[in-house]
Amino acid sequence: MSSEFVACRQRALPMRGKPMDELPTPSARPDDSSSADGREHDADLRDAALDTREKAVEARESAQVGRDQENQAIIAAADERDRAADGRDAVADERDRAASLDSFLRDANYSPGHKARMSAGLDRMDSKDDRLSAADDRSNLTRDDVVRPEPEDD
């Protein structure tokens, strides 16, 4: 709080919380005279109370404006961070999409990882063919209807 606000508030404290009928009025004055001095004194009291209230209101409004400005600055900074994050996300998505499409669509220049996977796949196909041939050979050994060649005598 500013020192001006504190000083204004301290001046207003004696009248704060008092009902309007407890505030000084012309009839409650100690001298109870209707003279011009009495009316002037009452007007001065009312003006002082009004000035005190106006200063308190101005101080509260000023503090509120300061808080509003701070809040707007925080919101603007958060929005800027969100926009930057959205931009980074879009760039990352584009890079990911380009890498995925590149790995599927290119015909030449296979990466070493892709070449290794392709070689492994071909090796597995060759192994499968070899296992099928070996199984056929074993099956042919156990079948009875197959005529085995006789060894020739020389």
Provide the residue ranges of all domains of the chain, joining segments of one domain with +.
3-98
Tell me which amino acid residue 70 is: E
Name which of 47, 56, 55, 57 is nearest 23 in CA terms: 47
- Check pLDDT > 70 for residue 7: no
Q: Which phi and psi angles does 152 have, rounded to 5°?
A: -85, 145
Higher per-residue pLDDT: 4 or 13 = 4
Higher per-residue pLDDT: 23 or 118 = 118
- Check pLDDT > 60 for residue 149: no
Model pLDDT for residues 16-47, shown as the tens digit of each residue: 555 555 555 555 555 545 577 888 989 999 99
Model pLDDT for residues 77-116, shown as the tens digit of each residue: 888 888 788 888 877 888 888 777 777 776 656 566 667 7
